[in-house]
Amino acid sequence: MKVALFFDGSNFWIGKESARVADIDYWKLAMWLVDQAGGKILSGAHYYIGFDEENPQSPFGRFLDFLEGQPGFFVHRLKFGVATFTCPKCGESRQTRIEKRVDTTIAVDMLRLAAVNAFDALVLLSGDLDFAPAIDGVHSLGKRAYVATWGKTGLSRDLRRIAFDHIDLLDGQSEFTRNTRPPS
């Protein structure tokens, strides 16, 4: 059985930091997830992230380059949008970068790849309820859709109900991490 992985990069990173996981072997993580989903073959690991194209050699940019070099990994760098916020007290306006199109791109790719039989099951590394319609769509195409999170952190209860099953990344730490940070 072929399994595809879909990483919501920001959600994955926040969960990883919250779980205090320091160093992941991404190939081992991918193989562990394929096994957890009952598969044998990784059909692709897709990592989606908002990215600052003005600073591609940042440490995070180098991480994304590294990840792209892993077998079967595909990194989707999506341009940041800009939002303007006005302080209600002082009236000062400030612009900030925000992720745009990440969730919708993941959802469309999940459905598109399911429709062409690129996988038999998928693992979505996010607990965001926004993905519920896409998970329903994948199921209607005869595919299994799992969600994976670091414990229950960030896992929508409604998304968990829709998914075929939940994979707790904390259960596999010894399989795919090189070390973990000691508690502070």
Cα distances from 18 to residues 50, 62, 77, 168, in angstroms, run 20, 22, 23, 14
Q: pTM for the complete prediction? A: 0.85
- The mean pLDDT of 110-118, rounded to a whole number, is 98
The pLDDT score that the predictor gives to residue 83 is 59
d(CA 65, CA 168): 27
d(CA 8, CA 149): 11
pLDDT at 180 over 50: no
Q: CB neighbours (10 Å) of residue 162?
A: 18
The pLDDT score that the predictor gives to residue 152 is 87
Strands 121-125 and 144-149 turn out to be: parallel
User: Which residues are paired to 6 by β-bridges?
Assistant: 46, 124
pLDDT at 39 over 70: yes
Ranked by mean pLDDT, the top range of 95-109, 115-129, 151-165, 168-182 is: 115-129
Q: Which fold has domain 2-180?
A: Rossmann fold (3.40.50)
Q: Tokens in use for 56?
A: 């591609």
Determine what percent of the chain is predicted with pLDDT higher than 90. Answer: 62
pLDDT, tens digit (0-9, with 9 covering 90-100), for 126-172: 999 999 999 999 999 999 999 999 998 889 999 999 999 999 999 99
d(CA 129, CA 111): 16
Q: Mean pLDDT score of the chain, rounded to an integer?
A: 88
